[in-house]
């Protein structure tokens, strides 16, 4: 065995140990009402040593692509367990035995920044606006310092806990191994791209360009120019 094979084996063993530490058997979870749906699966309110959000992943054992996604899912979990920041949703563990794949996080109780901006009649004071923007920047700076790209920063993924602390939902990172067209709902119609409402203003021009030249139906997020710079564009 050469040094490269030994290095690869050591990384695999290290990931396996990490996964074991963060594995939560599905039977240990109480799964309650549905609080969200997406092309990746379904989000439930649940209980595991307190209230949590349980994000179950759709999985078809007969689909070859899904077996690849399981391995990618495990690599994501190995990375996610290292993220701890007051402005990020808390990752608590994962169910990693297919077909019961799920991510367990803290349950975000606050309203979204989108709701605060669009659904209320009041105008935010400048000091509060600066505080919210500063907290988002701190959370995103932490992710970027760890080499993590969020991929889906927008006001609907930002929660205000206790009406003051910003919590960033990093679900795009959790499901980053899925096709961009799946989690984005982006599709092609003739020479046009169909982009879901409220998305276009967050997508960097280089991503739109990449999708437009033919990546949209056959590429993973890792092959698109999703970078810290595209996160900064979404931040505004």
Binding site per annotation, positions for ATP: 55
Asked whether the beta carbons of 200 and 191 are under 8 A apart, the reply is: no
User: What is the secondary structure of 37-96 as a DSSP string?
Assistant: EETTEEEEEEESSSEEEEEEEP--TT-HHHHHHHHHHHHHHHHHTT---TTBPPEEEEEE
Which positions are annotated as active-site residues?
152
User: What is the four-CA torsion angle of 152, 156, 162, 163, rounded to 10 degrees?
Assistant: 120
Asked whether the beta carbons of 207 and 224 are under 8 A apart, the reply is: yes
Instruction: Name the binding residues.
Output: 55
């Amino acid at each position: 065995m050469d040094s490269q094979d030994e290095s690869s084996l050591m990384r695999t063993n290290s990931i396996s140990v990490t996964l074991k530490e963060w594995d939560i058997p599905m039977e240990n979870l109480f799964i309650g009402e549905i609080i969200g749906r997406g092309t990746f699966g379904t989000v439930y309110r649940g209980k595991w040593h307190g209230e949590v959000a349980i994000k179950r992943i759709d999985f078809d054992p007969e689909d070859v692509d899904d077996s690849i996604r399981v391995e990618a899912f495990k690599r994501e979990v190995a990375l996610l367990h290292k993220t701890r920041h007051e402005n990020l949703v808390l990752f608590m563990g994962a169910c990693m035995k297919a077909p019961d794949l799920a991510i367990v996080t803290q349950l975000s109780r606050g309203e979204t920044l989108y709701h605060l901006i669009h659904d209320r009649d009041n105008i935010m004071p400048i000091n509060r606006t600066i505080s919210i923007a500063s907290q988002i920047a701190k959370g995103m700076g932490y992710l970027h310092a760890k080499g993590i790209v969020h991929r889906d920063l927008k006001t609907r993924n930002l929660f205000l806990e206790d009406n003051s602390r910003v919590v960033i939902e990093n679900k795009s990172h959790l499901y980053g191994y899925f096709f961009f067209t799946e989690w984005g709902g982006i599709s092609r119609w003739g020479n046009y791209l169909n982009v879901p409402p409220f998305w276009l203003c967050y997508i960097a021009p280089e991503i739109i360009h990449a999708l437009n030249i033919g990546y949209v139906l056959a590429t993973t997020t890792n092959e698109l120019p999703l970078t810290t710079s595209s996160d900064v564009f979404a931040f505004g």
